[in-house]
Each structure stands twice: as structure tokens, then as C-alpha cells.
Structure 1
């Protein structure tokens, strides 16, 4: 069998799934099913339009917060704290032992630390001249 490298100019959802399939099989053989479930906690205005919120997923006993966004004009009203608190409630209900997320140095590291998250990793020069922080918060200890 001949195998070649191919850089996709416009990768598709099918390409992504083809890459994930053997990884998913291996992971499940080693750690069991991930039981991945999405999490969406939305901020809606009076007209019902989604204007921010929290987006993530739970799997392998942790809830990953992929995005958390509160519009600039609404900051300082504890909406971010409420979003994290609701994510923690969902995580506990799903049997997760913690939450994890990442944030850039110019974003909200201090906010997350005030909520009990701790840094477990740092990526220097992402973007160049700055840092990206990886934080976690255990719920079982």
C-alpha cells in the first residue's frame, strides 16, 4: 500500500472525522468511551438573541470550557461568574471531577484564578510576545 502526505486546501468535516476515527478507537480501547456531551450556556437579550455565553463539552470525566464570552458592555455584572457556576453545576451532574480551559495573557487569567482555577501549563509566544495559559479546577477536592 502506498501512503502519501496531502495538505488539504479546504479540509472538510469528513476529513476531520477520518483523522479522528483511529484516534477515537485507540482512546476508547485504552480508557473506555469518552461519553462526550456538548455544553452551551447562552446569554440572551430581551429579544431572545444570543449575545454571548459559554460553549464547551464534557468527556473523560472533565468539562472543557472552549469559549466564554461576555460582551464588553455587560462586564462587571458577574455574568462570567454565573456562567462558570452553571458549568460547574452541569459538570457535577455529569459526574465530572473538574473543569479545564485556556486563556491568553491579554484575556482573563485573573478572573479564572479568582474562581478557583489554577494554571497547569503555559505556552510561551502564543501569540508571539505573549502567553497562553491552561487552567483547571477540581470539583472533587
Structure 2
């Protein structure tokens, strides 16, 4: 089921005032409704289209495929990533490139988003002695950039 989620990120803990509101029984939906909107739906759709328009070169696609295939080797993880995960990796890397003002994806974009995009989808092999994020880092070090 975790394959449905693009990324797993930690938001940390709420500050003391926000936590008190939660403890006092404030309706969480009401608290969310009070947040100011940063984008309207049309602006969000425009950004989503801009992300899709970010270019990924053939060597970059090779690199993403090499990483996906490395998860399937059995060296780091019990079971490898699905094709859906590969699409998620590329989409997240494109979004990072756009946020950094580029219209193309660089290998550093892939490396930066990979742990948050795939670690929640993977189970490290039993003898790894470390968690999925550490295994993703080890795999990144082992897979050459195309």
C-alpha cells in the first residue's frame, strides 16, 4: 500500500501552542481551514504541468533505470521497486529541478529525492543491519551515474 504515496517525509512535532490546541480538543479540520492558501487550484495545475515539461535526458533515464534495477538485485532489499516507483522517482526529480530553476533533471536531483521517494517502499535484506534509508544511501554510492 505504501507504493501509492509519492514520498515519505517527516514534518517533526508541532510547537507547544499547536500541540496544546490539539490536546484541548480543537477540531483539526478547523485548524487546517485557517491556514492561508499559497496557491489556487489553477496555479497548482500550472505547476504540475511545468513539472511534466521538465526534460529528462536519455542518460538520466538510464541512471534512474539502473537505480530501480539495483533495488531488484537482492543485494540491498528483499524485493525491488515497481515500475510505478520509477515513475515517482522521475516525477519527484523533475519537481526538484523545477524548484531549482531548471528545465532539465540532473543526476543530483535524483540523488537528492531518492531516499524520501523509495525508502518507504523497500525492506532491507536481513543481514544489512541498517534501515532502508541507509541502504538507499549505500546503493546510491554503488550505482554509477550514466
Which bin holds the TM-score, normalised by the shorter protein? Answer: under 0.3
Greater helix share, structure number:
2
Higher RCO by CA contacts (8 Å cutoff, separation 6 or greater): 2
Greater strand share, structure number:
1
The two structures have a TM-score, normalised by structure 1, of 0.25
